[in-house]
């Protein structure tokens, strides 16, 4: 039976699964495949070098799917920040109805998008930040547990606690993010109060993900122990795939002088992008979650999402069967 949650109802999707808005991964090939399979695919705005390039990617995605898809717009700290307002304007102009926001001081962008009638999913790593975003008028919150890839925040709270705290505090629906790869995880997230899940690392390891096959195989061969937490010293903690460069970066962080310039060459985003192109998992740092321990194959997005749907249904039915009617006296 099809799922019916606040997420599926609001977004017009069949399966309550959102593809993470991953840098250098969220292109039209993946977003359209996820949407065609019944989930919500996301284009990553900052993967495109300019707002006009994002416009082209949105139009390209529309040639590949007729289903709903969205755009991820993450506001990152930078000496010379991207023109976020221009990216947001392209989203509005192109009629995209769903945006995932994340990052620093998103209030102005959220207001602009909400004024245009866009449904907003905002990512947070703490309940405190989620409450602030709720006041800004976002429609859904994506709650990122400590298990997630990339920026994990500085509080180290896993989803089992974070989701229950979100359910206690929030008045709007929320999605569980970080540590999800299968239907059992979806069923668990729903039981903890979420209305769906967000998956990043799992979607990297699909046929349609536009990254080198060697990187997909590295994820399949990895375990839950194969990540490193880097940049904690600068309160910008990132969970990275445990490769030679990440280990070197961590060594510099622990034993260096504390100057960021020492570690900067090791955490270069440019080298990380090249990993997905040249297929060398040790060429630069790249993000991956502890959920790698649950990933054992490289399916199409359709096969993956149908499997997740079936597993979640079976899990919910199995759990329901544990509750027996009271015996009559």
Instruction: Give residue-wise pLDDT tens across range 18-32.
Output: 999 999 999 999 999
**pLDDT at position 144 over 70:** yes
Return all residues near 242 (Cβ < 8 A) that are at least 6 apart: 222, 225, 226, 227, 228
pLDDT at 317 over 90: yes
pLDDT at 329: 64
In the predicted model, what is the mean pLDDT of the chain?
96
What's the whole-number mean pLDDT along residues 173-186? 98
- Cβ-in-10-Å burial (0-12, 13-18, 19+) of 250 comes to buried
Average of pLDDT values for 153-174? 96
Joined together, the tokens standing for residue 262 give: 């020492």
Q: What predicted TM-score, i.e. pTM, was given to this entire model?
A: 0.95
What is the mean predicted confidence (pLDDT) over 132-147?
96
- Read off the pLDDT of each residue in 151-180 and give the average, rounded to a whole number: 96
Rounded Cα gap, residues 81 and 84, in angstroms: 8
Q: What is the pLDDT of residue 1?
A: 62
For residue 294, pLDDT over 80 is answered with yes
**Domains of the chain as residue ranges with CATH:** 6-210 (3.20.20.70)
Confidence of residue 76 (pLDDT cuts 50, 70, 90): confident
Share of the chain above pLDDT 90, in %: 93
């Amino acid at each position: 039976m099809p799922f019916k949650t606040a997420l599926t109802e609001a977004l017009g999707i069949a399966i309550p699964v959102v593809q993470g808005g991953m840098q250098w991964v969220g292109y039209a090939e993946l977003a359209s495949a996820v949407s065609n399979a019944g989930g919500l695919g996301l284009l990553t705005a900052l993967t495109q070098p300019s707002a006009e390039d994002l416009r082209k990617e949105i139009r390209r995605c529309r040639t590949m799917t007729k289903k709903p898809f969205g755009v991820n717009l993450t506001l990152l700290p930078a000496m010379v920040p991207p023109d976020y307002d221009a990216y947001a304007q392209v989203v509005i102009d192109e009629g995209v109805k769903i945006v995932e926001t994340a990052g620093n001081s998103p209030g102005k962008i959220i207001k602009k998008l909400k004024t245009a009638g866009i449904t907003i999913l905002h990512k947070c790593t703490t309940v405190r930040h989620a409450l602030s975003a709720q006041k800004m008028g976002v429609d859904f919150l994506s709650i990122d547990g400590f298990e997630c890839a990339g920026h994990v925040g500085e509080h180290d709270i896993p989803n089992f606690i974070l989701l229950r705290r979100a359910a206690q505090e929030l008045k709007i629906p929320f999605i569980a993010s970080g540590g999800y790869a299968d239907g059992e995880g979806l069923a668990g997230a729903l039981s903890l109060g979420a209305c769906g899940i967000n998956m990043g690392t799992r979607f990297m390891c699909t046929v349609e993900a536009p990254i080198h096959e060697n990187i997909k195989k590295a994820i399949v061969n990895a375990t839950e122990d194969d990540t490193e937490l880097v940049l904690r010293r600068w309160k910008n903690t990132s969970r990275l795939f445990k490769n030679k460069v990440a280990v070197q970066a961590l060594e510099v962080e622990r034993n260096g002088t504390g100057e960021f310039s020492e570690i900067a060459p090791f955490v270069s985003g440019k080298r990380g992008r090249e990993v997905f192109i040249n297929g060398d998992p040790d060429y630069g740092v790249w993000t991956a979650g502890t959920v790698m321990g649950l990933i054992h194959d490289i399916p199409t997005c359709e096969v993956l999402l149908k499997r997740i749907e079936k597993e979640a249904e079976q899990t919910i039915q199995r759990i329901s069967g544990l509750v027996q009617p009271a015996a009559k006296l």
